[in-house]
Structure 1
């Protein structure tokens, strides 16, 4: 299964700011940890991130990349802000979808799993006409993981434990949505240009992913574990 992780903002776009934090840094930390969990704990799982460093990526670039890659699920990670009084977690799917759609079911699953882990007030499941939800051709969800301008939520964001818990909630939800299987056999971990892109049981799958990305990377390593 192909999972596209989209840490919001980045580079010249810091996103929301408050309490000494920038949204772009918190979203990247959560996304990288989700990626680690998925690749280390589940077999036959591929991931791709819209960014792995603090760089500027347009909304169009994010959705074009996910669409051309053929992702099965798009998860965009964000942090909220309002006026310093609002707090808690909420998530969104595209406003044009019905409550009976498969994407809405995915939203309910991910929402429940994230709330179990993150210790934030539950602000509910919502819909919006956001670009990354409207222009993706696969199931897509956008999560808003607390309010950066609220002191209690921001204090959690500064904790590596909270980052881990929030990522764990996302990963658990993604795994349930896509029916991912826990790794039990020997895996071959594939790293390209310093970033892990997958872990596979079959050598043919390793060769296939390297071949499909042949023109886009400078270095690749295979680690048996």
Structure 2
């Protein structure tokens, strides 16, 4: 009896020693070195943005792996290859990541000089300079075939395309801003000029489903900055600044004590001129180590919404998240169009499949989907959609979910029963709200 009890005690101790670690949830950090392959990004006198981004990102990952035991690092790329923006976000979403950090290098037109580092969260730009940065970073989608369909008709060069970000509700804004401000704080300690925390419409951040930031290390177009960005000291200090910001984030939001790494400011660095953030001044954006339980309510009450939140109303029969079996789509689509015409407001759906023939209701390709319908849009093919809602954020969530099974799924919009671009629908919604 004593021997048996001793055996159980030994087993329990072994379980505690080796099993507890595996039980703890691993924090997943996705590091995204911007550009790559045939997309060089911004170019300086002797270097390219894609190489600087990758070098700093790899150094950042090395610091995290060395000092953060319970953090798993995933890179969107570790070599000089081209990765589409949507694919970068998909990597993070499929990994169920807890944090997404995109590393980039800034630039200005010839003849203009600027110094310093800045960090962005997702949102609507509040300064022309922020819009220009977003346009430059988003222009990479033009290197992708079929980008207009994949990004719902988004044109990175047109200012009107960015109206889409006015309607987006980023539920991770508070965490993202906290991380951005923490990174900027450590940039300052490294002797970098602090260019602040900003909001702008970055597609790579829009597609992610976790707290996410995009940081601009410095200006490759400024000779002194380019030299610093390519130096061992510069790479180390920039990576350490981002790492320390992440460490601070882990302590607050993951309740994990993480060691900081030292940063030695360069005496040749530009003066640390503090600048005001251009983010809306809200209570929830204070970098307190004790987040308030009412922050979410305050955040949602301050943010403008195109329509009343779906969660505030009883579930509609055609709600996107309603689980029901696919139906014969011809009549269903006709009924939806009539309803759309009566409401005279944009209705969003997710197009996930195109077929040369009409599919039966029990076709395996339609199984497990909610509110399935189809339209022909004047063509010979049958285009199948799932979901139907006037809430753009709701349809985005469904689209991200469907992409796991249908990688080419994208959002489509209808007004008065007719197919229109998402940009047109959002513009109309803005005018009528």
TM-score normalised by L of structure 1: 0.76
Higher relative contact order (CA 8 A, sep 6+): 1
1:159 aligns with 2:269: no
**Conserved? CA contact 2:115–2:222, under 8 Å:** yes
The Cα of 1:182 is off from its aligned counterpart by 4.2
Aligned twin of 1:16: 42
Cα distance in 1 for partners of 2:171, 2:199 equals 10
Q: Which has the larger radius of gyration?
A: 2
The Cα of 1:114 is off from its aligned counterpart by 2.6
**Conserved? CA contact 1:37–1:171, under 8 Å:** yes
The Cα of 1:98 is off from its aligned counterpart by 8.8
Cα distance in 2 for partners of 1:182, 1:81 equals 33
1:123 aligns with 2:176: no
1:175 aligns with 2:201: no
Aligned twin of 1:44: 70
CA deviations over 1:138-193 (Å, ceiling 9, x no partner): 0000000110010111110121111011100111111110124448xxxxxxxxxx
1:108 aligns with 2:181: yes
CA deviations over 1:79-138 (Å, ceiling 9, x no partner): 000124122111100115599722212221122123322x32211110011012111110
TM-score normalised by L of structure 2: 0.41
Instruction: Give me the CA root mean square deviation.
Output: 1.8
Cα distance in 2 for partners of 1:172, 1:122 equals 16
Cα distance in 2 for partners of 1:167, 1:78 equals 12
Q: How many residues align?
A: 182
Distance 1:100 1:6, change over 3 A: closer
Aligned twin of 2:117: 89
**Conserved? CA contact 2:53–2:104, under 8 Å:** yes
User: Which runs of 5 or more structure 2 residues have no equivalent in the other structure?
Assistant: 1-26, 124-167, 260-433
CA deviations over 1:180-223 (Å, ceiling 9, x no partner): 4448xxxxxxxxxxxxxxxxxxxxxxxxxxxxxxxxxxxxxxxx
**Conserved? CA contact 2:34–2:54, under 8 Å:** yes
**Conserved? CA contact 1:42–1:181, under 8 Å:** no
Aligned twin of 2:207: 135
CA deviations over 1:29-58 (Å, ceiling 9, x no partner): 000000000001121110000000000100
Higher share in strand: 1
Distance 1:87 1:133, change over 3 A: same
Cα distance in 1 for partners of 2:208, 2:172 equals 18
Distance 1:182 1:123, change over 3 A: closer
**Conserved? CA contact 2:45–2:223, under 8 Å:** yes
